[in-house]
Chains A and B, each alone.
Chain A
Amino acid sequence: MKGRGQVAVLEVRGLARRFGATQALDGVDLAIAPGEVVALMGANGAGKSTLVKIICGAVQPDRGHILVGGQERRIAGPAAARTLGIVAVHQATDAANVGTLSVAENLVLDAICGGRLPRFLSRRRIRREAARVAGALDLTLPLDAPLSSLSLADRQLVAIARALAGEARLLILDEPTASLSEAEAGHLFGIVRRRLSARGVATLLVSHRTADLQRAADRAVVLRDGRVAACFARPIDFPAALAAMVGTLPASSRRDSTRQGMLFAADRLQLRAGGPGLDFALHANEIAVLFGALGTGKSRLLATLFGACRPVGGAMMLQGRSWRPRHPADAIAGGVFLAAEDRWRTSFSAPGTLGADIAGTIGLPHLPRWAGRLGLLPARRQSESALHAIRRLGIVCTGPGDRIERLSGGNQQKVVVARWTAEQARLLLLDEPFAGVDVRARHDIVASLRALGDATAVLLATSDAEEALEAADRILVIRHDGVHAIARSEIADGAALLSLADPAQDRAA
């Protein structure tokens, strides 16, 4: 029995914190025992990030107590948290790693900067230390390659290995699998359970993916409106936990899309030299989900439809006409919109710059259509559109002029969806739109997509089976041998869908 009778690694009592008009935390109690994996669940705005920030020392509570190893402490800043053995790995790993340095140098960066290594360092010494850090997590990485050459998933693993290189007692994983494939996520949680729990390192896991929580958590703590709404011990009753998180959600109805006319067709569309020719069709008034493992070319396919990439061969037809966009501007003018993956890199402007508020973000791609003849900004049109979107999607904010970086992840994603639904699309493409988005926001977004009307086809790419099954009217499985269309009703559950997308199927098909 883990955790019984031991002093908690971390205990918080009555934590509260207010931001402006919102009471983000309102008296939270939580204790984590050595070796325990606690899942922290909650909808956007329930207080998860605030709690994590307080534990990491990034935010100070208005009141409440923090006990580390049984002693009351004040965690003044991230450095103080690290001294106490509290390390965190956040979703945005690119903020933590240095892309221009080698993998090895990144792995030992804390030791180098913290002065725990000698002043004169040989390349060999760095490599040896790095191999030790990576080895502790069974990672095999190209140590001499620049970090920027690694995949997003490997960069994530580097960040985790780095965090655990010191004397960690509590590891906080904030959306660790947002960019990982199923296999990589499995590997990560295998490490968490085998390596960390055995060493007595406790883990606080924040994730929106139920699959993650099912795999790893000993206990789930559900936050709602800044309070602990419920606790669940293993075996965790996930339906009950989800209900505690968001209350009950109305079921959204699926549509039979085959009755509608064909809107888009790809004919032996070849994305890269040597790749397979892709054949598929999209119908008006349907949500087709493009499902496949990482690296199957989902993003590239969407970018090709949007004119951001050129196909190598094959043809595309949009409403019976040849579709050959040469630039995203062509695609937008033709009614083909793409909400690209990784919203901070592909959708939002730098915080604080002109037009980085909600209204400006939504309006930017539509300015050619909205602006008057003199090119003056359609300020009223933009803010009306934003107000409409705020109501329609339930974006929690102070108004059209609110700054994007102040919104929670789910609400940021809703702004991206609002941008591309502000005008009537013929074909709306969404690339991993649910990364870091909770069930409630996901539900809102899917509902808004279903309400788009008869003239629009939606193609949504994801590598998460649960997301795919929730959103899809029809599923297009993409593998290295091509695209295979499957009706939603033919797929029983996530496991069935995953086996369809398994690369091993390539030869069988």
Chain B
Amino acid sequence: MIATASGAALQRRFRERCGQAWGEAAIFIVLAGLVVLFSLLQPAFLHVANLFQILQSVTVTALLALGITVSLAVGGFDLSVGSTAALALMVASYAQVVWGWGAPATVLLVLATGAVVGGFNAVLTIVCRIPDLLATLGTLFLVGGLQLIPSAGRSIAPGMSFDDGSVAQGFFSRSFLELGRGRLWHVVPMPVVILLVIAPSLWVLLELTRWGRVVYAVGGNERAAHLAGAATRRTRALAYVLSGVLASLGGILLAARVGRGDITSGGSLLQDGFAAALIGYAVFNLRRPNVLGTLVGAVLVGVLLNGLTMLNAPYYAQDFIKGAVLVGALALTYRIGRDATS
């Protein structure tokens, strides 16, 4: 009797341990599986150039996803990052092509624009007390519409003509385009360098500093954080501003890469960003928004898209496959993770 009892307990503990390990590693197993699969089918997949290509392709998504991560950590929800990036793209193009601004002024203006959008979200959610999801949905439309107005709904490119017959005199400056196209030591693309500066800083900010702890405390229980002396409103406002700035930085890199103010380039940024941030919940089975997980999530999305492209998968099937992998990865982690903790 006793032997079977302790046997049952041991067995259960063994299962719990295994479940835990599985939950923590699930996303990495999926990622490793994809890499192995793609490199078997297409050996060029593992070339250094292609690996950087993957990283470069995910930088914009990753920056937006990091913004989303910050807003999720503080208990908010920022649906407006995709539109903010698109607005940033148009502002960067307009400032240079129409006003003839140089690169430093343009970058500052665009980052300020992102901060203003974030501040607007903060006013809506904190002062007007509109639920985050609804407020940022409103901003999504507002900002998404706003970016079309100055150029009357057209893409902005050097030499474009206006309704009154005048022609834009400005152009994208070399140093601005370097941000998107340049390479450090002729190897590492500039966007990847920028991401490798931003992401670790943000990780330190959220995981190792007092402010980061307050962010998670406000997201975990706003009332408790308030009673522990946290400035909850200011923290939430700053999180939205940070999210807006990161999104506008994403927009800058996008503008520098494509070299024109394309009104359609904002496309799937929001969905990809959320996919990365949500996959990030599952990394190490943390089940909370976290910077490292978000990066892994962004890389997973990038690997998937790059691999499918190399294998000549039809473009119209890519969204479906992306969705399937996202759902599968989440189901795997949460299902296993739950077994381990209950």
Contacts and interface: CB of A to CB of B under 8 A. Distances in A.
Interface in B268-318: 286-288, 290
A377 B208 contact: yes
Contact of A368 (B208, B210, B217): B210
Interface in A343-357: 345-350, 352-356
A125 B288 CA distance: 43
B209 A346 contact: no
B213 A367 contact: yes
A364 B1 CA distance: 47
B216 A346 contact: no
CB-CB nearest 3 A-B residue pairs: A349-B220, A329-B229, A353-B220
B224 A346 contact: yes
A235 interface: no
A20 interface: yes
A371 interface: yes
Interface stretch (B2-10, B98-106, B170-178): B2-10
Max chain A Cβ within 10 angstroms of own Cβ: one of B6, B8, B221: B221
Contacts of B9: 18, 62
A62 B8 contact: yes
B221 A350 contact: yes
A332 B230 CA distance: 10
A375 B211 contact: yes
Contact of A338 (B227, B287, B288): B227
A150 interface: no
Contacts of B5: 16, 18, 62-63
A315 B151 CA distance: 61
Contacts of B255: none
Interface string B201-224: 000001111111110110111011
B246 to A, nearest CB: 19
A484 B226 CA distance: 31
Interface in A300-351: 306, 308, 327-329, 331-333, 338, 340, 345-350
A376 interface: yes
A99 interface: no
A375 B220 contact: no
A349 B226 contact: no
B228 A375 contact: no
B216 A355 contact: yes
Interface string B151-178: 0000000000000000000000000000
Interface size class of B (residues with CB under 8 A): 35 or more
A494 to B, nearest CB: 30
A345 B8 CA distance: 37
Contacts of A349: 216-217, 220-221, 224-225
B44 interface: no
A63 B220 CA distance: 38
B213 A377 contact: yes
Interface of B: 1-2, 4-6, 8-9, 13, 73, 206-214, 216-217, 219-221, 223-231, 286-288, 290
Interface string A461-479: 0000000000000000000
B224 A345 contact: yes
B209 A308 contact: no
A45 interface: no
A360 interface: yes
Contacts of B210: 367-368, 371, 375-377
A329 B230 contact: yes
A384 B213 CA distance: 18
20 contacts: A16-B5, A62-B9, A63-B4, A63-B5, A308-B226, A329-B229, A331-B229, A346-B223, A346-B224, A347-B228, A349-B224, A354-B73, A354-B206, A364-B213, A364-B228, A367-B210, A367-B214, A371-B210, A377-B209, A377-B210
Contacts of A355: 213, 216-217, 220
A56 B227 CA distance: 35
A350 B220 contact: yes
A63 B8 CA distance: 9
Contact of A328 (B1, B8, B213, B228): B228
B208 A365 contact: no
Nearest to A379: B208
Most A CB atoms within 10 A — which of B9, B220, B224, B227? B227
B280 to A, nearest CB: 13
Contacts of A368: 210, 229
Given A18-B5, A62-B6, A364-B230, 14 more contacts: A308-B226, A328-B228, A329-B230, A346-B223, A347-B227, A349-B216, A350-B220, A352-B287, A354-B220, A356-B220, A364-B213, A364-B214, A368-B229, A375-B209
A270 to B, nearest CB: 23
Contacts of A371: 209-210
A381 to B, nearest CB: 12
Contacts of B290: 354
A374 B225 CA distance: 21
A340 B227 contact: yes
Given A63-B4, A353-B216, A377-B210, A347 B224 contact: yes
Contact of B227 (A328, A350, A352, A356): A328
Nearest to A307: B229
A77 B60 CA distance: 47
B274 to A, nearest CB: 19
Contacts of A367: 210, 213-214
A346 B4 CA distance: 44
Contacts of A347: 224, 227-228
A503 B206 CA distance: 51
Given A360-B213, A365-B228, A377-B208, A348 B288 contact: no
Which of A16, A306, A332, A353: most chain B CB closer than 10 A? A353
B221 A354 contact: no
A353 B73 CA distance: 9
Contacts of B1: 63
Contacts of A345: 221, 223-224
Interface string A373-396: 011110000000000000000000
B259 to A, nearest CB: 39
Contacts of B211: 375
Please indicate which of the listed interface residues B4, B214, B219, B228 has the most CB atoms of chain A within 10 Å of its own CB.
Answer: B228
Contacts of B206: 354
A353 B288 CA distance: 6
Nearest to B211: A375
A338 B224 CA distance: 11
Nearest to A19: B9
Contacts of B13: 20
Contact of A354 (B213, B226, B229): B213
A87 B338 CA distance: 25
A356 B224 CA distance: 12
- Residue of A331, A364, A365, A371 with highest tally of chain B CB at under 10 A: A364
A403 B229 CA distance: 22
A377 B223 CA distance: 22
Contacts of A360: 213
B161 to A, nearest CB: 52
The interface centre, meaning the residue of B73, B226, B230 with most chain A CB atoms within 10 A of its CB, is: B230
A338 B211 CA distance: 22
A356 B211 CA distance: 15
A376 B208 contact: yes
B239 to A, nearest CB: 14
A375 to B, nearest CB: 5
B73 to A, nearest CB: 8
Nearest to A330: B229
B337 to A, nearest CB: 10
Contact of B219 (A353, A375, A376): A353
A73 to B, nearest CB: 19
B231 A329 contact: yes
